[in-house]
Amino acid sequence: MADPVLVTGGSGVVGRALVRRLVADGREVRALARSDRTAEALGALGARPVRGDVLDAGSVQEAVRGCASVFHVAGINAMCGRDPRPMLRTNIEGSATVVRAAAAAGVAKVVYTSSASAIGEPHGTVGREDSAHRGTYLSNYERSKRLAEARVFETAAEVGVEVVAVNPSSVQGPSRASGSARLLLDVVNGRLPFLVDTTISIVDIDDCSEGHLLAEARGVPGERYLLSGASLTIREAVALLRHAWGAPERVRFAPGWVASAGAAILDAGARVIGREAPVCLESVRTLRHGHRYDGSKATRELGLAYTPIEETVRRTLAWCAEQGLVPPART
């Protein structure tokens, strides 16, 4: 068996799928765990949990000792938070800590899970690895991932570690029912009063894991690889859901300014009562901007083959139906 690998963020959506894949491939996996509950869950996946935190340099150095490579997946993905500082610190400083720990342990390569949002392409353009950044941020999350990616590459150059970044678009598939997947569930269940027409990019969760492994094996140090299998408008997505699942029966679309106005009201109300709003200006701003990413570099240079979007949608909804999250298919 090859030397072990360390996975941070193994309890999250992307990290959990990656741990499963590594274990299935016969790799020895160590997984950083912040709590006993997380450690138990990671152990159930077949990994060896190691207690630690990406903000604790000593614990990361101990966890990475003797590893061949590191998959740094850990990070905070949140919208509408009242205080973005914990997310910024974890995503930026925590990532730099992992890279330095890898260098201290003599690790050959770090695969860093960035985000497609770090591309920062101007509205109406196709995001590619070399796209010029628009110069402004749609959300604190986008800001954190853009700055974290820059810090990771800067730190890698300082300490002499090979780092490859993967930039997944919206990750969808079985076991995903939170975050951006809530939009899909709410549409199928008819819970949204209206939709805003925009463009989204999606990558299958299994393709995301495969992209990480290919980046480890074939990725060029200092390069980023967008992982994005399909881009479609919300209207196209609704038509796909109807064809695959027979739902939703009817949806209504509203102008973007209506969503922005509603988000402003919710934002103001949340500030008054001291709570976080379920929808806020930065989430609506991100939605209205839309994203269309080009994931072909990962195919050309890494050999990644993408799952057809129709298959991803059917697999996802079938799993959701098993969990009682959506009604059975009506097709």
- The band of 268, judged by pLDDT with boundaries at 50, 70 and 90, is low
> Per residue in 83-103, pLDDT tens?
899 999 999 999 999 999 999
What is residue 79's predicted lDDT score, i.e. its pLDDT?
84
Burial label for 22, CB within 10 Å (0-12, 13-18, 19+), is buried
Burial label for 185, CB within 10 Å (0-12, 13-18, 19+), is middle
**CATH code of the domain made up of 5-171+204-228+292-306:** 3.40.50.720
Q: Is the pLDDT of residue 284 over 80?
A: yes
Higher pLDDT, 312 or 267: 312
Burial label for 210, CB within 10 Å (0-12, 13-18, 19+), is buried
CA distance readout (Å), 9 to 35, 95, 184, 268: 12, 11, 24, 33
What is residue 186's predicted lDDT score, i.e. its pLDDT?
83
Lowest-pLDDT range, 121-125, 162-166, 250-254, 326-330?
Answer: 250-254
Q: Going by C-beta distance under 8 Å and a sequence separation of 6 or more, which residues neighbour residue 204? A: 171, 172, 173, 229, 306, 307, 311, 312
Q: What secondary structure, in 3-state letters, does 245-279 show?
A: HCCCCCCCECCHHHHHHHHHHHHHHHHHHCCCCCC
Q: Is the pLDDT of residue 261 over 80?
A: no
Cα 243 to Cα 314: distance, rounded to the nearest angstrom:
10
What is residue 259's predicted lDDT score, i.e. its pLDDT?
65
- The band of 329, judged by pLDDT with boundaries at 50, 70 and 90, is confident
The residue assigned the tokens 């209207």 is 235
Lowest-pLDDT range, 51-65, 73-87, 208-222, 242-256?
Answer: 242-256
Higher pLDDT, 284 or 277: 284
Task: Assess contact for 142 and 120: CB atoms under 8 A.
Answer: yes
Q: Is the pLDDT of residue 35 over 80?
A: yes
Task: Please report, for the chain, the start and end positions of each structural domain, with discontinuous segments joined by +.
Answer: 5-171+204-228+292-306
What is residue 58's predicted lDDT score, i.e. its pLDDT?
94
Q: Is the pLDDT of residue 54 over 90?
A: yes
